[in-house]
Each structure stands twice: as C-alpha cells, then as structure tokens.
Amino acid sequence: MINPSLMLLPSKENLEHIGAPHTWRTSYFIVVAGTSLLAWLKSCLKGSSPGTDLIVLAAALIVMSISLYVIWSLVALLSYLFSILVVPMKRISYMRIFSLVSYCGIIFLIGELVNFILLRIPLLKIRSSVFPNRFPIGLDLLLNGGHPSLPLAILMHSINPIIIWYCATLSLGLHRITGVSKMGAGIIVGSIWVIGIGSVALIASVLGGTTIGLKIG
C-alpha cells in the first residue's frame, strides 16, 4: 500500500521504501489506471456515445501501458548510467532506480488530475494558445495571450510546480539509493530533464504538432 506522505515528505525512510526493488507494479497500475480514467472522463464530458467512450478507455489503457513503461525505462536507464559515471566504484541497482522512477510517476498523475480540474473551472479563463488542453501553471503563465514559438512554449510549460516536485523527489531518491551527492543527483536529474524537453521540442517541431502533453516520467 502506498502512503501518500511518500511523495509529500521524501524523508530518508520514505525514499528507502520507494526505492526498494520490485515494488514498481503498484505505482505502474495506479498511473496507468488513473490516466486512462481521465481520458475516459474527458470523452464522456464531450458527449460521446457509450461505445466511443469504451473504445477511448481501452485505447488509453493500451497506449499508457506501453508508453509509460518505455518512458520510465529510459529515465531509469539514463539515471543509472549517469550515476555509474559519478560513483563508478559503488554497486548500483537498476531495478531500485526503476522503482523510484515509477513512484515518482504518481506525481505526474497528480499533475494530470490538477490540469483536468483547472481546465473545467468556469471562473478560470486562462488558456494556452499553444497547448489548449493544458492549463498554464508554470512560467507559461507569462505567455498568456501571446504566440510564442513551439520550442519556447514547451520549455516554459515544463517549468512548473509539478515538474519541480518530480525532479526534487527523484533527485533525493537517487542521492539516497545510489550514494551520489545531492548536487550530483540534482545535476543528473537536470540533465535528464534537458534531454527530455529537448526531445519533445524536436519531435513536436518535426511533426508540427501543438497539442502535445508533457508526460516525461
């Protein structure tokens, strides 16, 4: 059972718990189920037919099951490789890092839930011209009403409280389970963030899309 304080209070004991090997399945189920249900709710609120809603739910379950595992694996692999470079003499477990990354994924589920709620509050009229399905909660608030370039919009949108929370928790977790210094762990997570945002911006620019949700982690 996941204790909510694991994410809110990343103490030494909590980080040791979420970094334990082979404990990623619970968080994987929670995030896949949660994001899929949000996709289903969005479809229902659009007035789609029950059949369409079920198709959306099934498709979301399949897509999220695959994409989350792939993304988390990449984040865990980069964290593992960077950690080895920083502390080459220490034995580091990839599965413990993967377990940590999977638990941090719950933070993004919370972010998706917050976005879902804020977009549906009538009194809040703030909207992003680049990401109409994302509520600006970070530096992208400064872009309200403007028409920035896609890479700039992605960068500004990615600097928000949810991602800062995610990066801080992942950094503390890496520090605890790998022995990397806090500064070293912060640099590792920061590097992964830069790689992730750069990749999203590149793919979005190539595809020409403007409604890509940032779900790195």
In a domain, 217, yes or no: no
Task: Give CA separation, 14 vs 8, 43, 70, 105, 146, in Å.
Answer: 10, 36, 25, 15, 42
Listed residue (201, 192, 161) closest to 174, CA to CA: 192
Q: What is the pLDDT of residue 212?
A: 41
Q: What is the pLDDT of residue 38?
A: 92
Q: Structural domain tally of the chain?
A: 1
In a domain, 3, yes or no: no
In a domain, 49, yes or no: yes
Q: What is the pLDDT of residue 149?
A: 79
In a domain, 71, yes or no: yes
Write out the chain's pLDDT in tens, 217 residues: 445 445 555 556 666 666 565 678 888 999 999 999 998 898 888 877 878 888 988 999 999 999 999 999 999 999 999 999 988 777 888 988 998 999 899 999 999 999 888 888 766 666 665 677 788 888 877 876 667 778 888 888 889 999 999 999 999 889 888 889 999 999 999 999 999 999 988 887 777 654 444 443 3
In a domain, 159, yes or no: yes
Give the whole-angstrom CA distance, residue 194 versus residue 151: 12
Secondary structure of residue 73 in the 3-state scheme:
helix
pTM for the structure as a whole: 0.83
Which stretches of 25-133 are assigned E, i.e. beta strand? none
Q: What is the pLDDT of residue 161?
A: 93
In a domain, 2, yes or no: no
Domain that holds residue 32: 10-207
In a domain, 33, yes or no: yes
Q: What is the pLDDT of residue 101?
A: 92
In a domain, 5, yes or no: no
> Contact at 8 Å (CB) between 107 and 162?
yes
Give the whole-angstrom CA distance, residue 90 versus residue 84: 8
- 89-134 residue pLDDT tens: 778 889 889 989 998 999 999 999 998 888 887 666 666 656 777 8
